[in-house]
Structures are given as C-alpha cells and as structure tokens.
Chain A
Amino acid sequence: MIRVVLPAQLCSLANVNREVEIQVDGTATLESVLDGIEASYPMLLGTLRDQVTKQRRAFIRFFACGEDLSLEPTTKPLPEEVAKGKEPIRVVGAMAGG
C-alpha cells in the first residue's frame, strides 16, 4: 500500500481523512499512484493533473522523503520507503499569495 497525504480541500472533496492508502500493482511510480488515486476517488479527477494530457496542475507538488518529486519523470520508481509504505507521498498545494 502506498500512503498518500492529501491537502485539506481534497480531503473534504473526497470525504476522506488526511491520509489514504492506494493499492498499486507492480512497480510504484507517481503515475501508477495517481492512477490509483483517481480510480479510488473519481471525484479527484482533474484536481491533481489534467484529465487528458495527464500533466500535473501548475500549483500541485508531490513531496516524499524530504524530496520534491514534482519535476521527476512520472514513470520513475518511487523511493523504497514510499513503496514499502514507511513514508507517505505528500500532495501539496503550492504556496501562493502573501
């Protein structure tokens, strides 16, 4: 299971607690986790990435193990700690405003 921490607005939209667990078959990548999130919580379609191009929304970031994974290829395997469920992926709404 991959642990994913969602921002508060998306928790209320999906009616879930702050952390959800996503089942991923095969190698865990950002893409496979996002596919899993959207399959489990279809109301989040379009809120993290474009529904057609699959591009990350501009103000969405993905952090894990103290690293920013947002600009990494989405097919790259996730860190082992994330794949083993020891560390979560944090979906973060980028700071904007004053």
Chain B
Amino acid sequence: MSKVRILVGTRKGAFILTSDGRRENWEISEPQFAGWEIYHLQGSPANQDRLYASQSSGWFGQVIQRSDDGGKTWAPAGNKFMYEGSPGTHQWYDGTQHPWEFKRVWKLEPSLTDPDTIYAGVEDAALFRSSDGGKTWQELAGLRQAKGNLWSPGAGGLCLHTIILDPGDPKRIFTAISAAGVFRTDDGGQTWRSVNRGLLSNYELPDPSAEVGHCVHSIAMHPARPNVLFMQKHWDVMRSDDAGESWHEVSGNLPSDFGFTIVVHAHEPDTIYVVPIKSDSEHYPPEGMLRVYRSRTGGNEWEPLTKGLPQNNCYVNVLRSAMAVDSLDPCGVYFGTTGGQVYASKDSGDNWTTIVRDFPPVLSVEVQTLV
C-alpha cells in the first residue's frame, strides 16, 4: 500500500508525519533541528528517501541538511552561498540602492530527475544550484540581470520563494520573488526575463502595471499542463495560459483575493485551492472562519470548503509554502497554519481533519506519496 509522508517546517524545528494510504492515523516524529527555523524541507522526486532541509537562525545563519533515509538521519551539507561576481545593489524600502546580502534559503527544489541536483531560492533574492547533493552551490546570476536593481523587499524580505521546474522542458524554470514578480528562463538558467504582463498592483506600485516590482506570493503548475500557471498575488488570484507571457485575474467570488498559498489538485489540472486572508494588514481569515476555497474551473468560480475547519474565532495565517497535495486518488490536500495546526483532507478538500493542533508556527508543508 502507498504511504504518505508530510514534511513540516516550523519556526522551531521540522516534523515528519507519516501514514499509510488510508491517511487516517498519523505518526508524528520528534522535533528535528529543534529550536531552529526550518523554512522548507523537500524530497527528491527521483529518490523518495533523499530529503533536503533549510535550517536557519538569526544567531547562527544558514545550514543545509540532507537525509538519505527519508528523514531518519540527517547530515549537514554545504552552506556557502556566494553571489556571483560583484553582488551589486537592489532597491531598498526608501528607494535608495542597497547591497545584495545573503540572509537565508526560503525554498529548496530538487531536480525532477537527479537527486544530487537541487535549486535553492534565497533572500536577498537569487537562485542557486547544486549538482553534488548540496555540498557546493553556484548562483544562476543571470536572474538578477532581469532588472534586479529595481527589485525591492516586501515585508517578508526580498525572497525568492517559488521555483517551478517544467517537466516537459528541462531548460525552462519559473521563479517568483517578493516583491519583484515572476521570472522565466528557457535556457537552463543562463538568461532570464520577467513574465509579469497583466499583473496589476494598484496599491503597491506607482506604476500598477510595471514590468517588475509585483508582490507575487506564490505560483503553481500542474505537471500535465506546464503552460498554465496559477498565482496568488499580494492581492488578486491570477492565471496564465501561456507560460507567464500574460496573466488575467480569476479571483471571481472569493471573499478576499489576498492570500499567500495556491496549489493545484494532483489529477485535475483545473482544480485549484487557495486560503483567502482578510488583508495585508490583517493576516487572518475573513470573519474568523478558516476556509479553503476550491475552484474546479481553473478560477473565477470558487466554493468554500469548511467541514472540519474552525468556523469561528480563528485568526491564524497560512503561509505561501504551507499547503501541498499528495498524488493518491482521491487527492489529499494538506496545510499548516501560523497557529501550529496541520490539517488534512483525504477527499480533495470536502472534509478536513486536524492531524496536529499545537506545533510551532508552520512555515512550510510538503507531501511525498511513497510507493
């Protein structure tokens, strides 16, 4: 029988939750890397026991951990992230130029085919690649040539938080950066360009349709349809049908189109999930009701999913990397909150159960379907 492994990164360590394919009883690990911030853990699609974790601390900096046995044991890998050449400057909050400074790794995205190749999205925004299992890292510096001097940090920092590898074209990669936008390479990472046409940031930018500067919170793709992208922007849920060349809004009847996370159903490329958040100043669900919204039409028409989720006095947030799906049938959907809960649905979102109630604030949730 298949198994499911949930990788949870929190403000105070990582946890691994496992269940058989019934997804009813969950075994919860002891905290790993206790006391450290774990921005992200991710497994290799090419080797389900190869895991990578981004471990960081304001005191001690960045550590990359690697496991070759599905998270039973870990060993530190390389943590030297050096910008290529002279790092240059980007725009600071006050409009002046500010030197690029490495702070932490937000996102780890292993290659779809090689367990030793992995990409890291970092703050200040840049993309690094390792081809030796995380021992050494090299920047793909062409990304910052895409008007990097105009990028400026959002409230969470100038972070590269989303990396999508195109399963149909190994040379195409999408990245998303707050607050800069979406960028695409078609040559394996050497050259990049912004793909932000159609994004409108009326409240955040002096030029609402600027080429760069949009506060993209997350983007998602279904592997069977790599030219279709979905985006949760600061405000607005967006969709592109041409690999980012143009975007249009699909917020439709959502109670709020502010939010952080967006994911796609494992088997239905037009079924997508978001968690609406009231506003950028009030980072909690509208009306104190924790509702996942599902669209089965690729956007615009949304239905609330509430069964098993708190429907009063709920004031948690769901961060950009804190939602994921498994690949079982029916599709499982999982998310974690800043209140420390991890929720699961084994029926595509119709019904939800609480796997964990009292973790530290959840930063990321990833799911591996083990065969």
Contacts and interface: CB of A to CB of B under 8 A. Distances in A.
Interface of A: 7-10, 12-13, 43, 45-48, 51-52, 57, 59-60, 93-94, 96
Given A13-B63, A46-B62, A93-B59, A8 B80 contact: no
A10 B61 CA distance: 11
B76 A59 contact: no
Overall SS of chain A's interface? loop
A48 B80 CA distance: 13
B59 A45 contact: no
Contacts of B59: 7, 9, 57, 59-60, 93-94, 96
B60 interface: yes
B76 to A, nearest CB: 4
A91 to B, nearest CB: 10
Contacts of B63: 13, 43, 46-47
A12 to B, nearest CB: 7
Given A7-B60, A45-B79, A57-B61, 17 more contacts: A9-B59, A13-B60, A43-B63, A45-B80, A46-B61, A46-B62, A46-B80, A47-B63, A48-B60, A57-B60, A59-B58, A59-B59, A60-B59, A60-B60, A94-B59, A96-B58, A96-B59
Contacts of A12: 33-35
Contacts of A48: 60
A48 B58 CA distance: 11
B306 interface: no
A96 B59 CA distance: 9
Interface of B: 33-36, 57-63, 76, 79-80, 82
A13 B56 CA distance: 11
A9 B35 contact: yes
Contacts of A94: 59
A9 B57 CA distance: 10
10 contacts: A7-B59, A9-B59, A12-B35, A43-B63, A47-B60, A52-B82, A57-B59, A59-B59, A60-B59, A93-B60
B119 to A, nearest CB: 20
Nearest to B58: A59
Contacts of A93: 59-60
B76 A43 contact: yes
A52 B58 CA distance: 18
Contacts of A8: 35
Contacts of B62: 46
B79 A46 contact: yes
Given A45-B80, A51-B80, A10 B58 contact: no
B61 A47 contact: yes
Contacts of A7: 59-60
A83 to B, nearest CB: 26
A52 to B, nearest CB: 7
A12 B57 CA distance: 14
Contacts of B60: 7, 9-10, 13, 47-48, 57, 60, 93
A94 B79 CA distance: 22
A75 B63 CA distance: 27
Contacts of B80: 45-46, 51
A9 B38 CA distance: 13
A78 to B, nearest CB: 22
A48 B57 CA distance: 11
